[in-house]
A and B are shown apart, each in its own frame.
Chain A
């Protein structure tokens, strides 16, 4: 398991550095804006008050926009579940199904390692990859904060939004992993999970505007995402629920992986029996 864990992290070095450094630099750049914003707070508050409430709601805005936590939430963490969520979905769906479809899984499982070892070696590697990206993003924020006069959040305090984001990403990644174990192909699993992530993001964004939408939104994980506001105080109950839901998907995926056939390399996927209904039957020869 340890060998596969190390292999998973090693083969994702590019993803960690690419995503982590990009988001770290973005965080640094955004934090550097805060001083300008805080210095002109009174003037900007007047200007922003003209924004329609739909715009504020969609971007996760709060009345307390000028506090460091709210600023970092709106400018960075409010859309991270969508941005990094897509990464988590792609990585989660290809974690095992990608190896299967390429044919690499046959080679791995031809060695004396159990399916449980393969599964958790890959999964814990995925967790470390996410932690690596979030750590670089966090470092970018903290480095930016060293030059800021007005933004003064502690290192531990600023880690909390990342923890809230991690729970969200693990849930999306776990869902994609589970779908990749039950759906015919990795691509289909990524599409379905990606669609759910995007829908969850949009519905949650609109929930502030309509009570009907809010009724639906309370069943979606985005509702329980605190983002940058976690720096003010983490809702550990929400965090535990999200982590619990992620664990359920991961365990279901593990159960399925241990029980089912390994796909033939190069096959690309299975047929969807349910969709055969839609196929037109060929005309019978007389």
Chain B
């Protein structure tokens, strides 16, 4: 069992009426890795996670979580998983501490309470305050703590940093890295590329219920397009720059400014640009949507070639 992937999903399908939410998901998450699950809103990230935890039942395909079929034995799966729902809702009548005690009771008192206090301190959360008085960000912190407090083998977190301020986002990402260092597998969904890039080793990209890519983060970045805007001191002929492999001219504002599209690493372009007097050099990371579009462009081209 220990050799099996932490999560193995094959041919997973799920429809809501006529809407096909998942259209044959194939995904494997290895033990001990941090896996980022990327996709825009409505792509099927939450549906996949909820299927894996038996909150909803798939129409087809198979799922194994830590080697167990979650439909056959959901309690065994959830005893070893820490889960943060995407739409987190807590009991407003309880304090943060009482909420965590209640959830710990459901876990059979498996939490390490010293660790809970440490997490609360690191996340700057006052556990004595009633949930109803907490901001959205502080509620998320309670959610993160409840997922981590029993030191689970597998963390399944649906948008764990959504609603947190940048400092706390960093702290949560550090906690995920620490959990991995302590032997846990981390599977988290996000639609923010930068945070996935910061901690994940591999990513899966989902769009419209289908996995369009599973790759190492570096591979993904190398494949992605960037937009580069260069302002020169005087008029420049951009032809040598456009001859650099992976570079295409998007726009020439006047003789002194060009906008280029760069695919892959920047090294060759930087060396080419070094020959000119540069006033300003701006790069723009592509949005997740743009990365998707490159995949879809590839997909369309391959369809055309097949035809």
CA distance A11 to B91 in the complex (A): 9
CA distance A7 to B105 in the complex (A): 11
CA distance A113 to B75 in the complex (A): 6
Whether a CB of chain A sits under 8 angstroms from the CB of B46 is yes
CA distance A108 to B89 in the complex (A): 10
In the complex with contacts A11-B93, A273-B17, A109-B108 CB distance below 8 A: no
Contact B17 A106 (CB under 8 A): no
Contact B87 A103 (CB under 8 A): yes
Whether a CB of chain A sits under 8 angstroms from the CB of B115 is no
Q: Hey, which chain B residues are within 8 Å of A260, CB to CB?
A: 57
Q: Which residue of B lies closest to A2 (CB)?
A: B105
Whether a CB of chain A sits under 8 angstroms from the CB of B107 is yes
Q: Pick from B75, B89, B103, B108: contact of A103, CB below 8 A.
A: B89
Q: Pick from B79, B90, B93: contact of A112, CB below 8 A.
A: B79
Contact A110 B53 (CB under 8 A): yes
Q: Pick from A107, A264, A266: contact of B90, CB below 8 A.
A: A107
Chain B 67-89 interface 0/1 with A at a Cβ cutoff of 8 Å (1 = within): 00000001110110101111111
Whether a CB of chain B sits under 8 angstroms from the CB of A56 is no
Contact B108 A107 (CB under 8 A): no
Whether a CB of chain B sits under 8 angstroms from the CB of A40 is no
Chain B 226-244 interface 0/1 with A at a Cβ cutoff of 8 Å (1 = within): 0000000000000000000
CA distance A109 to B79 in the complex (A): 11
Whether a CB of chain B sits under 8 angstroms from the CB of A261 is yes
Number of B interface residues in the complex (CB < 8 A): 32
Q: Which residue of B lies closest to A3 (CB)?
A: B105
Chain A 92-121 interface 0/1 with B at a Cβ cutoff of 8 Å (1 = within): 000000000011101111111110000000
Q: Hey, which chain B residues are within 8 Å of A106, CB to CB?
A: 50, 55, 85, 87, 89
Contact A271 B17 (CB under 8 A): yes
Q: Hey, which chain A residues are within 8 Å of B278, CB to CB?
A: none
Q: Which residue of A lies closest to B47 (CB)?
A: A264
Q: Hey, which chain B residues are within 8 Å of A265, CB to CB?
A: 85-89
In the complex with contacts A11-B91, A106-B50, A106-B55, A113-B106 CB distance below 8 A: yes
Contact B107 A112 (CB under 8 A): yes
Chain B 93-127 interface 0/1 with A at a Cβ cutoff of 8 Å (1 = within): 10000000011011110000000000000000000
Contact A261 B89 (CB under 8 A): no
CA distance A262 to B105 in the complex (A): 22
CA distance A25 to B83 in the complex (A): 46
Contact B56 A262 (CB under 8 A): yes
Chain A interface bracket (under 10, 10 to 19, 20 to 34, 35 or more): 20 to 34
Contact A107 B89 (CB under 8 A): yes
Q: Hey, which chain A residues are within 8 Å of B108, CB to CB?
A: 112
CA distance A108 to B90 in the complex (A): 10
Which residues 226-281 of A sit at the B interface, judged by CB distance below 8 A? 260-262, 264-266, 271, 273
In the complex with contacts A106-B50, A109-B55, A112-B75, A264-B87 CB distance below 8 A: yes
Chain A 7-36 interface 0/1 with B at a Cβ cutoff of 8 Å (1 = within): 100010000000000000000000000000
Contact A3 B57 (CB under 8 A): no
Chain B 1-25 interface 0/1 with A at a Cβ cutoff of 8 Å (1 = within): 0000000000000000100000000
Contact B103 A111 (CB under 8 A): yes
Contact B85 A111 (CB under 8 A): no
Q: Which residue of A lies closest to B79 (CB)?
A: A112
Q: Hey, which chain A residues are within 8 Å of B85, CB to CB?
A: 103, 106-107, 110, 265
Contact A262 B50 (CB under 8 A): yes
Q: Hey, which chain A residues are within 8 Å of B75, CB to CB?
A: 112-114
In the complex with contacts A102-B89, A106-B55, A106-B85, A3-B50 CB distance below 8 A: no
Which residues 129-154 of B sit at the A interface, judged by CB distance below 8 A? 143, 146
Which residues 231-282 of B sit at the A interface, judged by CB distance below 8 A? none
Chain A 163-187 interface 0/1 with B at a Cβ cutoff of 8 Å (1 = within): 0000000000000000000000000
Q: Hey, which chain A residues are within 8 Å of B50, CB to CB?
A: 106, 262, 264
Q: 10 A-B contacts, Cβ less than 8 Å apart?
A: A7-B91, A103-B89, A106-B85, A106-B89, A107-B89, A107-B143, A109-B55, A109-B74, A260-B57, A265-B88
The 6 lowest CB-CB distance pairs between A and B, nearest first, are A265-B87, A110-B83, A103-B89, A112-B79, A106-B85, A261-B56
Residues of chain A at the chain B interface (Cβ within 8 Å): 3-4, 7, 11, 102-104, 106-114, 260-262, 264-266, 271, 273
Q: A113-B106, A261-B57 are in contact. List 13 more A-B contacts (CB 8 A).
A: A3-B102, A3-B106, A11-B93, A103-B85, A104-B90, A106-B85, A106-B89, A110-B53, A110-B85, A112-B79, A262-B55, A265-B85, A265-B86
Residues of chain B at the chain A interface (Cβ within 8 Å): 17, 46, 50, 53-57, 74-76, 78-79, 81, 83-91, 93, 102-103, 105-108, 143, 146
